[in-house]
């Protein structure tokens, strides 16, 4: 029986005349059964199903470029990891994507394998010198269609330099809008722009909020994860009122989810309860492969494409793309203030 299923699956995989979805169905049906009393087997089966479902899929481009700022003033919650891996997943699915590394740490540039040594043209020259974006953009060596505006160490001084500058909050927006318009006019429109932010709510993050239309907040499934969220939402509301009417929190992504702890589940439940429409169904698991990838100058999508971390980011990217370009609240309203969930009780 198993052999027959596998034969059908192999035929389906090779037969290019069979429609894509039919092939995926046949492949999924050919997977061996796994009972719940063998958790490892069940997990392997689930991963195999997700691989069949997701690998090689093309995502529909949005009707217009989606500019998404990935922000959370808490450090180490997975902003950069989310930015680069979602960007890689979207690009692998056939879309044209730009990552703006707006963090002096330059972690997104490192993970994408682009040059960002001191002296490299970067977001610093765009922000401070008013240079155009185009000469500073580099294509990611491993993933066609994925581009990066890198950050160098120079950016660490920008926060202070910006203070006395004219139009200090909208310098990035002006330059990026011009670049996106040029690309579109040349018939090479970007589908997605993802902006990585530093762990603060200073002028670099403000510039990132002014350039974005949507905000994606990664939330780490840990104790204290929700502290500071109301401050972040308040900042978004202020930016929307004074600097960028289009800005709204469109997406929340739960990261570093550890299935073995009750705390992770509690944090996830609480976030979903408060933000049911914003929180993606996909959660990103805590995964060694995800944390190893940047040290090879790679995203997990190229470092270990079959790993559960890569599949989770692919799934999250698919959800993001399917939620489409239409903002969840077309009137541009943001989440209201004062909705910060209570702090988690310890286990």
Ligand X SMILES: Nc1ncnc2c1ncn2[C@@H]1O[C@H](COP(=O)(O)OP(=O)(O)OP(=O)(O)O)[C@@H](O)[C@H]1O
287 contacts which partner out of ligand X, Mg ion, none, CB within 5 to 8 A by kind? ligand X
Closest CB to ligand X among residues 78, 327: 78
255 contacts which partner out of Mg ion, ligand X, none, CB within 5 to 8 A by kind? ligand X
User: From CA 87, how far away is CA 321, in angstroms rounded?
Assistant: 11
CB of 149 to Mg ion, least distance (A): 15
Closest CB to ligand X among residues 27, 148: 148
CA atoms within 13 A on the CB side of 208: 30
Q: Are 316 and 86 in contact (CB under 8 A)?
A: yes
Q: Are 285 and 312 in contact (CB under 8 A)?
A: yes
176 contacts which partner out of Mg ion, ligand X, none, CB within 5 to 8 A by kind? none
Closest CB to ligand X among residues 286, 323: 286
- With binding defined as CB under 5 A, does residue 74 bind Mg ion? no
CB of 21 to ligand X, least distance (A): 30
Per-residue x/- mask for Mg ion, residues 92 to 121, rule CB under 5 A? ---------------x--------------
Interacting residue ranges for ligand X, rule: CB under 6 A: 75-81, 103, 105, 107, 199, 255-256, 284, 286-287, 290-291, 294, 309
User: From CA 124, how far away is CA 103, in angstroms rounded?
Assistant: 10
How big is the site for Mg ion, counted in residues (CB under 5 A)?
Answer: 3
CB of 284 to ligand X, least distance (A): 5
CA separation (Å) from 167 to 128, 157, 212, 243, 306? 11, 17, 16, 11, 46
Closest CB to ligand X among residues 103, 154: 103
- With binding defined as CB under 5 A, does residue 80 bind Mg ion? yes
DSSP run (H or E) holding 125? helix 123-128
- With binding defined as CB under 5 A, does residue 79 bind Mg ion? yes
Name every residue whose Cβ is closer than 8 Å to that of residue 317 and which is 6 or more positions away in sequence. Answer: 59, 85, 86, 89, 90, 93
Hey, is 195 helix, strand or coil?
Answer: strand
Q: Which residue has the tokens 């997977």?
A: 31
Positions that interact with Mg ion (CB under 5 A): 79-80, 107
């Amino acid at each position: 029986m198993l052999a027959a299923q596998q034969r059908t699956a192999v035929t389906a995989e090779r037969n290019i005349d069979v429609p894509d979805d039919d092939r995926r169905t046949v492949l999924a049906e050919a997977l061996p059964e796994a009972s719940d009393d063998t958790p490892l087997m069940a997990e392997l089966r689930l991963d195999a199903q997700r691989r069949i479902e997701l690998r090689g899929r093309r995502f529909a481009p949005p009707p217009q470029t989606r500019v998404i700022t990935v922000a959370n003033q808490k450090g180490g919650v997975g902003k950069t990891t989310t930015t680069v891996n979602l960007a890689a997943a979207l690009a692998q699915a056939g879309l044209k994507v730009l990552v703006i590394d707006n963090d002096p740490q330059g972690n997104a540039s490192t993970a994408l394998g682009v040059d960002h040594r001191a002296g490299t043209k970067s977001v610093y020259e765009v922000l401070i010198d008013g240079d155009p974006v185009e000469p500073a953009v580099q294509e990611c060596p491993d993933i066609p269609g994925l581009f990066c505006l890198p950050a160098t160490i120079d950016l660490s001084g920008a926060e202070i330099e910006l203070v006395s500058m004219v139009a200090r909050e909208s310098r990035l927006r002006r330059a990026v809008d011009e670049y996106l318009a040029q690309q579109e006019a040349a018939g090479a429109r970007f589908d997605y722009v993802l902006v990585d932010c530093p762990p603060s709510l200073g002028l670099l993050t403000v510039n990132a909020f002014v350039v974005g239309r949507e905000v994606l907040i990664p939330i780490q499934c840990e104790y204290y994860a929700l502290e500071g969220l109301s401050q972040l939402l308040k900042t978004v509301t202020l930016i929307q009122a004074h600097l960028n009417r289009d800005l709204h929190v469109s997406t929340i992504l739960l990261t570093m989810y550890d299935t073995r702890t009750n705390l992770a589940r509690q944090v996830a439940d609480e976030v979903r309860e408060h933000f049911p429409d914003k929180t993606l169904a996909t959660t990103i698991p805590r995964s060694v492969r995800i944390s190893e990838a940047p040290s090879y100058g790679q995203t997990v999508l190229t470092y270990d494409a079959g790993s559960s971390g890569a599949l989770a980011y692919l799934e999250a990217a698919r959800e993001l793309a399917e939620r489409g370009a239409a903002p969840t609240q077309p009137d541009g309203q943001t989440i209201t203030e004062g909705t910060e969930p209570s702090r988690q009780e310890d286990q």
